[in-house]
Amino acid sequence: MKVVVVESPAKAKTINKYLGRDYEVLASFGHIRDLPAKDGSVDPEADFHMLWELDDRGSKRVSEIVKALKGADGLILATDPDREGEAISWHVVEALNLRKALKGMPVERVTFNAITKAAVDTAMRNPRQIDQALVDAYLARRALDYLVGFNLSPVLWRKLPGAKSAGRVQSVALRLVCEREREIESFKPREYWSLVATLVTQEGAVFEARLVGADGKRIQRLDVGTGEEAAAFKRDLELATFQVGSVEAKPAKRHPSPPFTTSTLQQEASRKLGMAPAQTMRAAQKLYEGVEIGGETVGLITYMRTDGVDMAPEAIADARRVIGREYGERYLPNVPRKYSAKAKNAQEAHEAVRPTDMGRLPKTVARYVDAEQARLYDLIWTRTVASQMESAELERTTVDIVGSVGLRKIDLRATGQVVKFDGFLTLYQEGKDDEEDEDGKRLPPMRAGDPLKRERIVSTQHFTEPPPRFSEASLVKRMEELGIGRPSTYAAILQTLRDREYVRIDKKRLVAEDKGRLVTGFLESFFKRYVEYDFTADLEGQLDRVSNAEIDWREVLRDFWRDFSAAIGGTKELRVTEVLDALNDLLGAHIFPQKADGSNPRTCPTCGSGQLSLKLGKFGAFVGCSNYPECKYTRQLAAASVDGEGEGSSENGAQPGTRVLGNDPVTGLPVTLRDGRFGPFVQLGEASTEKDAAKPKRSSLPKGLSPSAVDLAKALALLSLPREVARHPVSGEPILANLGRFGPYVQHGKMYANLGRDDDVLEIGANRAIDIIVAKEQGGGRRGPASDPGRALGDHPETGKAIVVKSGKYGPYVTDGTTNATLPKSLSSDEIALPQALELIAAREAAGGGKKKAPARKTATRSAAGKASPAKTPAKKAPAKKPAAKAATAKAAKPEAAEAAPKATTARKPAAKKPAVRKKA
């Protein structure tokens, strides 16, 4: 028998079925070791020695593997075919060597791009050794990320209160978002006019033509810049006679896009399905690990972390068969299409993301997966099949028209496009970011010299627009173009920026928060080199060279650390005033926007003589007056003006970071957003100085709600909590939604139930609230703000018990009501399915765990004569004698101990002098 190690339980279960009884397949549950979050985990003084820590979960996995290896013929490492997979295998071998569990046992490494029987069998016939170059690239990347994060983040905490962290790639991605925000703020719109003539052919067909030239000169889009110029052109066009100058029809072809890489999959899923990169990768992981179809568990797509765009010959042949069968031979090119990656930092040569079986149509797969996975599979299938289809054949027509007014010639142009043969477009068309649609209008038949009649002339005013904010898809695309990071890490990077509250999503666009802009401003001012795009891309290139065994990984770290440590050391003498001056200059347009009346935006609106500037307080950054403490004006960084001046001020000495949102229409009291010790909150009115006065009503902000997204309406909604959502279907009593110490919850009488992560306390409806309360009532539990009611996964096939995944004090877990099993770090509560939950619960039961009460410990009982009955437990050693005063105090605190142990009471008779001891005390 041989032992096979993979990452996930789902993958282990599937592969175990393929390999049979001669193999035992175990899951490592992802990485079993990690760098502890403490100083010295990577030691530059010891040539970057790395200290790895085996956590409790990892230790348990290693123990299981050690146990399975006893009597085994060999160890096969079958983790994912990328750097992370190679690193997991390396960690397993290192941990087993420390346990001396291998002892010369053969160790083999196998990889497969898809979890299918054919792919697994082929891999087993072609084992190799662990690729040390890939492991070295992983070690270098892990060490770099640790050194940057662990050394740069404390500098931020000291010099820029409110900042949470910095990262090697995270900070560069944040810079992209913040730079785009600065471009938008500094953008000055430019006026321009367009002129369009609606013309009619001799046959009566109507079409439009645009002004493109006059008097032999070409007119560009922005050349007509004033209303006067537009009016002059319009006047001449209304007097002109028109004639077709030339007609040119050119054939054109549009070729299909290659199949998906990790990056393009994330981009298209964002555009077409509205899925965030992290959401896309979770769904893709499930499709990769597979589902049970026809009694067999099979992976539905190939490995989803790849830079490759090519496909295996058998997959191409499979796609061509599907095209011929489903769409006909006309849609099948004579020669199969071959694609090659253009990315300069392409990783290992894996296949593109594609279905494992092209004949498994989306409508068939939809019966076995959830809606999100079905949509993603459909996207992957259509893109893959379309990539092997015939090109679309188009005809692009350009008609040049001459307008004559006396001796003046004015040029107009009409363009159109006709699809002669749709080709791959019958199945799929790639989405676009921030691009205008092509002109697909069809023009009527015309010949050179044909006269045209004017129907109308329209001039329209336009203004240039600033560049759009990044969407998640366009940011991923830009990072890939610059060579920043790895496509497999983009989802985690974007999620980190949101979790740190450096950016927020608004209308599917990434908006830089003030906190994120301050961090970027600080890094650009004092660590500019380390957030430069070229530097980060060059470092990625060096890591690629490490993975190709071209350079030593420690040499890369030495070169990096030499300059980086000097930059860190240079900040020790950095004064807060230097930080503030740099940020005031860099973020001036954002912090001090220009006023409509043209006055100095930095003049204090309260005292009129002080200058506003950025300040740092224990709650973070704010804007204050230079005349403090005489003038106590403060506001948040970019408070929008409501009444012209003084908006956001806290002139009466309120804490920095107070922003006035408006007045409550009912009470007339001001509604403010404030920074507090435990985070931002909204408040109605002001606190009174009188001793017995009631405190003003306040409400904290729900998790995930950015302070910058809070307006008057949102604040009033929060201050109106608790709100009645529904009536209980049995009792008829109200069900309330509210915010509490442990987050948002719903309440019915004395029954409380926390809301899930996707529930909004301000928007939760009646049906959802009733479901949560009823589920809590049926599940029992303590009163007060309760644990997550959980997500039902299904029923146990043997016991019939409901299997639920819940959020607990120590993280998510699955339970059947009797046994609890904690989820591994590699598996989130959103990802786990019923088969994985059953495996975890079974493993927990086998280990003797769960929440079952241990049987009561047997103790010696006494007969009526006071003699002990035959001993059922070994005699306990007598406790050490306590000092008299301590013994008396202990006995006073626990008088029931005397009744439980009469013999001990007899031995402690002097303790009867307790009153005297108390008197002495």
Q: Is 377 a catalytic residue?
A: no
Phi, psi at residue 765, to the nearest 5°?
-95, 175
SS3 content of the chain, % helix, strand, coil (to 5): 35, 20, 40
Question: Alpha-carbon distance 55 to 256, whole Å?
Answer: 48
Question: Alpha-carbon distance 430 to 272, whole Å?
Answer: 9
Question: Alpha-carbon distance 24 to 12, whole Å?
Answer: 9
Question: Alpha-carbon distance 416 to 397, whole Å?
Answer: 5
DSSP 470-527: PPHHHHHHHHHHHT-S-HHHHHHHHHHHHHTTSEEEETTEEEE-HHHHHHHHHHHHHS
Question: Alpha-carbon distance 816 to 794, whole Å?
Answer: 10
Residue 908: both structure tokens together? 């402690």
Phi, psi at residue 822, to the nearest 5°?
-70, 140
DSSP 179-216: HHHHHHHH----EEEEEEEEEE-TT--EEEEEEEEETT
Q: How far is CA 552 from the centre of its chain?
A: 33
Question: Alpha-carbon distance 279 to 269, whole Å?
Answer: 9
Q: What is the dihedral of CA 821, 827, 829, 834, to 10 degrees?
A: -70
CB 109 within 8 A of CB 130: yes
Q: How far is CA 336 from the centre of its chain?
A: 37
Question: Alpha-carbon distance 710 to 136, whole Å?
Answer: 47
Question: Alpha-carbon distance 619 to 114, whole Å?
Answer: 50
Question: Alpha-carbon distance 457 to 75, whole Å?
Answer: 79
Residue 720: both structure tokens together? 């109106």
Residue 658: both structure tokens together? 């107070």
Question: Alpha-carbon distance 453 to 644, whole Å?
Answer: 54
Q: What is each CA distance from 338 to 114, 359, 364, 425, in whole angstroms?
A: 20, 20, 28, 19
The single-letter DSSP state of residue 383 is H
Strand partners, 599: none
CB atoms within 10 A of CB 852: 11
Residue 12: both structure tokens together? 């282990």
CB 482 within 8 A of CB 343: no
Strands (E), 538-656: 612-617, 620-625, 634-635
Q: Is 576 helix (H, G, I), strand (E, B) or coil?
A: helix
Task: Give the H or E element holding residue 74.
Answer: strand 74-77
Residue 823: both structure tokens together? 């989820």
Task: Give the H or E element holding residue 53.
Answer: strand 53-54
Q: What is the dihedral of CA 680, 684, 687, 693, to 10 degrees?
A: -130
Residue of 303, 377, 502, 530 with catalytic role: 303
CB atoms within 10 A of CB 39: 10
CB 455 within 8 A of CB 199: yes
Q: Is 478 exposed, middle or buried (0-12, 13-18, 19+ CB in 10 A)?
A: middle
Task: Give the H or E element holding residue 753.
Answer: strand 751-754
Give alpha helix (H) positions in 99-131: 117-124
What residue type is 377 in one-letter code? Answer: Y
State the helix-helix crossing angle for 83-98 and 132-159, rounded to 10 degrees. Answer: 100
Catalytic positions, please?
A: 303
